[in-house]
Amino acid sequence: MSSPSNIESSRTARSLAAALVGDPFYRTVTVACGDDEAARHAMLEAYFALALAEGWQAGRVDMADDAGNGAAIWTTDTPAAVRQAAYAQREPALHALLGERGFAHFTAIVWNMEHALAPYGLQDAWYLSIAGIDPAAQGRGLGASVLAPGLAAVDAAGAACFLETYNERSLPFYARLGFVVAGRYAEAVTGCDYWLMVREPHAA
């Protein structure tokens, strides 16, 4: 699996921004944009470009199609030291992009969610960290198809996987792929609830 070209990555980052701009997490970390939605989209494009680069370096990225209409980004069984090095490389750029307040929100939300996750013993599970399809391309089955290769790889590894979503309407979609709601949590920084969903190992 080769990494995408800069053009493909840019198109995909733009699609992820369009798909996820309304998500409470992303609205909260882009607080510096205020009510400027064009600025928020631009900031999120840059955010997802960083996330795609980190995913290619230390996880797994599956593209929705050749047109860059979305992607799924996974944290996999890559050694922890490699993942930590990839995040350390990304962190200064992320801090500069989001600004002091946005980065503080990012750090606090991640800590809150990791704290809620701790009792589940999912340290060795794969994590679907980001998944999105450009709204203009939705309704074509791209959401399921972009997740299929990652789920097949999870099954081949005999691993569990999990995700967190603020979108209650997405629960039936993920349930059809084998994810089960493990908990619902109130996240203090966003002021919104999110759901933890877990998929136990499936036979490959």
pLDDT tens-digit readout, 160-192: 999 999 999 999 999 999 999 999 999 999 999
Whole-number pLDDT of residue 61 = 96
Quick one: pLDDT at residue 84?
87
Identify the pLDDT of residue 136. 94
User: What integer pLDDT is reported at residue 88 of this predicted model?
Assistant: 87
Q: Note the pLDDT of residue 2.
A: 47
Neighbours of 173 (CB within 10 A): 14
- CATH, residue 104: 3.40.630.30
Q: How far apart are CA 84 and CA 81, in angstroms?
A: 5
Helix H or strand E encompassing 78: none
pLDDT at 1: 45
pTM of the predicted protein model: 0.93
% pLDDT > 70, the chain: 96
| 108's tokens | 């606090």
Total structural domains within the chain: 1
Q: Is residue 69 part of a domain?
A: yes
Opening angle at CA 134, ends 74 and 32, nearest 5 = 80
Question: What residues in the chain have per-residue pLDDT under 70?
Answer: 1-8, 204
In a domain, 166, yes or no: yes
Please check whether residue 86 lies inside any domain of the structure: yes
Domain membership flag for residue 72: yes
Asked if the structure places residue 204 within a domain, the reply is no
Range of the domain at 149: 6-199
pLDDT in the model for residue 9: 81
Angle value at C-alpha 107, between 187 and 46, nearest 5 degrees: 105
Please, where are the H alpha helices in the chain?
6-20, 24-29, 37-58, 80-117, 142-157, 171-176
CA distance 161 to 127: 6
